[in-house]
Structure 1
Amino acid sequence: MSMYFHLRAVPPSALRNSATWFQRLFEDDWDTVRERIGRHREEVLDKRYGEFELLYSGIPPNQAPDGPCTQVVLGGRPVTATDTSLPPFRLLTASQVTGVAGFLRAADFDGLWRHARVRLLQPYDVPDPEPEVRGLFAATHRDLTAFYTRTAEYGDAVVKWPVP
């Protein structure tokens, strides 16, 4: 079973501070979510989402000071799932989303890559993995920047959850 990290934009007026509501948000299909909250924007990272956290924070998750760079992937206020065996949800307020969007728009991808490059390439035991791996990270960086920028433009919050 592979874990995926889902990020969903939610208008603050539709947001409910309920783990049950958060769980339904991720269990429902896109059309149901769009119908319930009025629109739908989502980003999905594959099981390597921790590597993307490393790209932005520069150190392993949960060890960097809180701020826009550490909120891109795993950041946000934890909300315990109703089933405590599941990982907690993460909630970024609209204000935090605006900060993350600004960080990503201003971020120098080449600088981020240079800083984390050696550690990001370690898991890949193939000759010269850099072009392909760097391309993957660059594309995901563009996708995350677009997701957060659009979400900030709407003034929405973001709910995150690693789900199977």
Structure 2
Amino acid sequence: MSIHMHMRAVAESEIRDDHTWLAAFMGEAWENYPDEHAGGIATAIDKVWGSVNDLYAAADVLDADAGRLWTLPIYGGRPVAHSADADPSNPPLGILEPSGVSQAAGFLASVSFDELWNVASAKPVWSGGDEAQVRREFLDHHRDLQGFYGRAAAAGHAVIRAVWA
């Protein structure tokens, strides 16, 4: 089974705080994902987004003043509740407002992936795979998130998050 966390940058003024509307918006964005990813306004992480979040949690060990900003790139923002008439099969959705996007971008720009990896590798963030290969995969996710959040913050955008199964 394929499952992804999909993130899409969008001007806050274009967002309707309505689960049904957001699910339709994100569904269309998912259909256009290759073009939107190439355009720098979307990114996705496959099944391992929880482990990517665990990698960022190592920032708490590295810097007592981290202020838990590491949660913003993966789980940041607020959930959008289903309306009473929403299709229950619609994905879980969340919105990270522009101020949170800026905080996430700042965290990602300032954190050292190597230091995170060294701290996190003391706790297995991978499950029995080749560590060098897993490290490359996580570094790719990190670089992608750095670019995505950096562009979104520079544009003053919010980020909508959906989980697709």
Q: TM-score range by the shorter chain?
A: 0.7 to 0.9
RMSD: 2.4
Q: TM-score, normalised by structure 1?
A: 0.82
Shift of 1:27: 1.1
- 1:17 aligned partner, one-letter code: D
The reply on whether 1:160 has 2:161 as its aligned counterpart is yes
How many residue pairs get aligned? The number is: 150
| 1:96 aligned residue | 100
Q: TM-score, normalised by structure 2?
A: 0.81
For residue 17 of structure 1, give the secondary structure of its aligned residue in structure 2: coil
| 1:62 aligned residue | none
Counterpart mapping for 1:3-152 below 5 A:
3-28=3-28, 29-30=31-32, 41-58=41-58, 67-81=68-82, 82-84=86-88, 86-117=90-121, 118-121=123-126, 123-124=127-128, 126=129, 129-152=130-153
Find the aligned partners of 1:135 and 1:142 in 2 and give their Cα distance: 10
Q: What are the superposed Cα offsets for residues 18-71 of structure 1, whole Å, 9 maximum, x if unpaired?
A: 10111012211329x98xxxx871001001111111111249xxxxx9742111
For residue 146 of structure 1, give the secondary structure of its aligned residue in structure 2: helix
- Matched-pair contact (CA < 8 Å) for 1:30–1:40: no
Unaligned runs of 5+ in 1: 60-64
Unaligned runs of 5+ in 2: 60-65
Q: What are the superposed Cα offsets for residues 92-151 of structure 1, whole Å, 9 maximum, x if unpaired?
A: 000100000000000110111112113213x12x5xx11111111111100000000000
> Identity percentage over the alignment?
35
Moved over 3 A (4+): 83-87
- 1:101 aligned partner, one-letter code: A
Shift of 1:77: 0.3
